Amino acid sequence: MSSLALNKYSTLANIMEKESGDRSYPIWLLVNPNNLDVCHDLWAPILDEIQDKIYRKFHTRIDPENIFIKNTVSDIGIVPKTSNSLAAEVAKEIVMLRESVLEHQPKILITFGALTYEFVKRVLETRSEEGPKYWSTTNLGDEFERSMADFDINQTNRIPIPLLRRVMKKGKSVEDRNYSSWEESEKYLRYVGAKIADRIIENKESLKI
């Protein structure tokens, strides 16, 4: 990533405590406050690829400071450890976020990992009993591909990013069959960024960014 990009993006942990950016902006990021540094490691190459493709097409870039970034809950102490153990205390947070989504109608809602994706499915009331019993890197990746194929500018599109926390710069792989090194993980994340950029480019006039 260029030095300009690094200066511009810093880290999510430095940018925010609970939320930052513009709620009226069509791109939202929801993050688990326990994993801000991990989310930054994932988001940086994705955003870098988005900016590169948009610049090549339109000779401009989106302003990352406008992107609305929010913790999935307002109290870091009530973040559950797994997506299947969402505590009753987050029910209020789900209602509050649902109201905000209905009011501002973001078009691209990006989540990182199982917990935030399950949280958003409940916010958007799209949770299905027929879905997987738990979210893994593999089925979150499948969900990402489905979100790209079914992208609809007339609705809020939830876009999950697998939380590749176990395949970081040390190159130690614990469970991910496709990402045995950070280089392979970054290649995948740039692929994700390119796919998102394509949807932004296709819908630039509607997104108004």
> Do the domain assignments include residue 193?
yes
Separation CA 120–CA 57 (nearest Å): 31
> Rounded to the nearest 5 degrees, what angle is found at the Cα of 126, between the Cα atoms of 87 and 179?
80
- Average pLDDT of the residues in 13-20: 65
Residues 6+ apart with CB under 8 A from 49: 189, 190, 192, 193, 194, 197
DSSP-assigned letters across all residues of 73-91 = SS-GGG--SSGGG--GGGH
Separation CA 113–CA 135 (nearest Å): 8
Q: Which of 206, 209, 196 is nearest to 50 (CA)?
A: 196
Q: Is the pLDDT of residue 36 over 90?
A: no
Tell me, what's the pLDDT at 64?
93
Helix%, strand%, coil% for the chain, nearest 5? 55, 10, 35
Residue 84 confidence class, pLDDT cut points 50, 70, 90: low
> Do the domain assignments include residue 68?
yes
> Do the domain assignments include residue 191?
yes
pLDDT tens digits along 144-192: 999 999 999 999 999 999 877 543 443 443 344 445 566 788 889 999 9
Residues 6+ apart with CB under 8 A from 5: 44, 47, 48, 51
Tell me, what's the pLDDT at 203?
96
Least confident residue range of 8-22, 85-99, 116-130: 8-22
Parent domain of 68? 3-204
Maximum CA extent, the chain: 47
Tell me, what's the pLDDT at 118?
84
The token pair at 106 is 């973001």
> Do the domain assignments include residue 91?
yes
**Considering its fold, how many domains does the chain have in total?**
1
> Do the domain assignments include residue 107?
yes
pLDDT, greater one: 132 or 32: 32
> Do the domain assignments include residue 209?
no
Separation CA 148–CA 146 (nearest Å): 5
Q: Is the pLDDT of residue 134 over 70?
A: no
pTM given for the model: 0.80
Q: Is the pLDDT of residue 82 over 70?
A: no
Which CATH number characterizes residue 78's domain? 3.40.470
- Is 21 in contact with 65 (CB distance < 8 Å)? yes
Residues 6+ apart with CB under 8 A from 161: 42, 43, 46, 110, 111, 112, 113, 140, 144, 189, 192
Tell me, what's the pLDDT at 17?
60
